[in-house]
């Protein structure tokens, strides 16, 4: 199971365990930053797999988590 690290301008702001928790965190972030960053462009989502200690994880497109029409996890390569 992959975890996710949430970064704002490259600094870790949180760590969650599921795609649903990423979506919830992003919604809260957007509400808190409605005036200065409503589209959450400063946010990066890094997927942490069991190899993340070696590879550093993988950056994912935050738009996959902001799209309300996709109830599943984000598409992966």
Q: How many structural domains comprise the chain?
A: 1
Residue 72 lies in a domain: no
Beta bridge partners of 48: 3
User: What are the pLDDT digits (tens) for 52-76?
Assistant: 989 989 999 999 998 764 445 555 4
**Mean predicted lDDT score pLDDT of the chain:** 87
Q: Residue holding tokens 């550093």?
A: 56
Say if pTM beats, i.e. exceeds, 0.85.
Answer: no
**Sign of the C-alpha dihedral, residues 60, 66, 70, 71?**
positive
- The parent domain of residue 32 ranges over 3-66
In a domain, 56, yes or no: yes
Write the CA distances from 66 to 10, 24, 51, integer angstroms. Answer: 19, 9, 26
Q: What is the pLDDT of residue 1?
A: 60
């Amino acid at each position: 199971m992959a975890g996710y690290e949430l970064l704002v301008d490259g600094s870790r702001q949180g760590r969650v365990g599921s795609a649903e928790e990423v979506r919830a965190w992003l919604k809260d972030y957007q509400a808190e930053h409605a005036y200065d960053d409503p589209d959450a462009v400063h946010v990066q989502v890094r997927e942490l797999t069991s190899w993340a200690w070696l590879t550093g994880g993988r950056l994912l497109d935050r738009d996959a988590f902001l799209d309300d029409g996709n109830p599943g996890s984000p598409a992966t390569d």
